[in-house]
Structure 1
Amino acid sequence: MTTYTETVAPPTSDQGWFSRGESWLDDKGKGAWIAAMVLGFVFFWPVGLALLFYMIWSKKMFASSCRTRSRGKAWSRHSMSSTGNSAFDAYKHDTLRRLEQEQSDFESFLQRLRDAKDKAEFDDFMDDRAKAAGADGAAKES
């Protein structure tokens, strides 16, 4: 009977302190980078400035927002391109037009809902104001 034991190798020391620090901050997220930069400015301003330049140079500061925007642009380019099949292109055009109409209808529904809520709140305010004015008038008469 053979037993198998798995051993975990310790982290390699091939990485320098800078690489380990960078990967640690990457694991923690953008907030950790910003916090490190602020602390760098507080304790020794050249360190904070160096971190700021590094974050801009390596695009760590804007990475997720730029990625999201480029995906959206790629999708819109892809959705408008022709496939070469006229029947499918016509179906896609009709479907996109229908979805845009549904979105427009839904947005107008939401606007009507907001308007109705605003009107109800305003009517409640005016009723409360009229009641308060009536109560003040009755209190002055007595």
Structure 2
Amino acid sequence: MNQSAMLRPDWTPATVALMVLGFVVFWPLGLAMLAYILFGEKFQTFKRDANRKADEAFNWCRSARAGTPFSSTGNVAFDDWRKAELERLDEERRRLDEMRADFDAYARELRRAKDQEEFDRFMRDRRNSPANADQTPPTYPTTA
């Protein structure tokens, strides 16, 4: 680590000033700066270890991906069967997606028809209500 850095995790004038300023402005900032001063070196090693572990996991995933369904196993009969099965499953998925889209359209049309029927009933009831039987406009008392 570069020890000439101005904000190294140590009790330098800059870090102390930032810590005090942090406590004055907003106390969690000061607390964070204090934690950086006290445990900064440990955070650096923790970060380095976490990055190394993540890199190892991603490398494992990349190496495991080499055995994807479309790579050859060396057995031609098995590869042909697997390819046919995957194509059959893809076709089945496409058919199911089409059926789902058809059902969604059907359900949407049912909801629209139900809403239309309810709206028509509301309008019919509104037209036939006793309050609308008298179509004369209301009169308001006037003061003379």
Normalised to the residue count of structure 2, the TM-score between the two structures is 0.50
Candidates 101, 119, 137, aligned match of 1:111: 101
1:100 is displaced (CA, Å) by 0.5
The residue aligned with 2:133 is: 141
The answer to whether structure 1 residue 122 and structure 2 residue 112 are counterparts is yes
Q: Write out per-residue CA displacement over residues 32-53 of structure 1, whole angstroms, 9 at most, x where no aligned residue.
A: xxxxxxxxx58823349x7x98
Larger RCO of the pair (alpha carbons < 8 Å, separation 6+):
2
The residue aligned with 1:31 is: none
Write the distance in 2 (CA, Å) between the matches of 1:93 and 1:106.
20
Aligned pairs for 1:1-142 within 5 A: 41=28, 44-46=31-33, 47=35, 58=50, 70=61, 74=64, 77-139=67-129, 140-141=132-133
Structure 1 unaligned regions, length at least 5: 1-40
Write the distance in 2 (CA, Å) between the matches of 1:128 and 1:54.
67
Task: Give, as a single letter, the amino acid of the residue that structure 1 aligns with 2:113.
Answer: D
The residue aligned with 1:26 is: none
Task: Give, as a single letter, the amino acid of the residue that structure 2 aligns with 1:124.
Answer: K
Task: Give, as a single letter, the amino acid of the residue that structure 1 aligns with 2:86.
Answer: L
Give the direction of change, closer, same or farther, for the CA distance of 1:92–1:128 in structure 2 (3 Å limit): same
1:113 is displaced (CA, Å) by 1.5
Instruction: Give the total of aligned pairs.
Output: 93
Write the distance in 2 (CA, Å) between the matches of 1:111 and 1:82.
35
Runs of 4+ in 1 over 6 A off after TM superposition: 52-56
Task: Give, as a single letter, the amino acid of the residue that structure 2 aligns with 1:95.
Answer: E
Normalised to the residue count of structure 1, the TM-score between the two structures is 0.50
Write the distance in 1 (CA, Å) between the matches of 2:108 and 2:97.
16
Write the distance in 2 (CA, Å) between the matches of 1:101 and 1:91.
15
Write the distance in 1 (CA, Å) between the matches of 2:110 and 2:66.
40
1:125 is displaced (CA, Å) by 0.7
Which of structures 1 and 2 has the bigger CA Rg?
A: 2
The residue aligned with 1:12 is: none
Give the direction of change, closer, same or farther, for the CA distance of 1:74–1:101 in structure 2 (3 Å limit): farther
1:104 is displaced (CA, Å) by 1.0
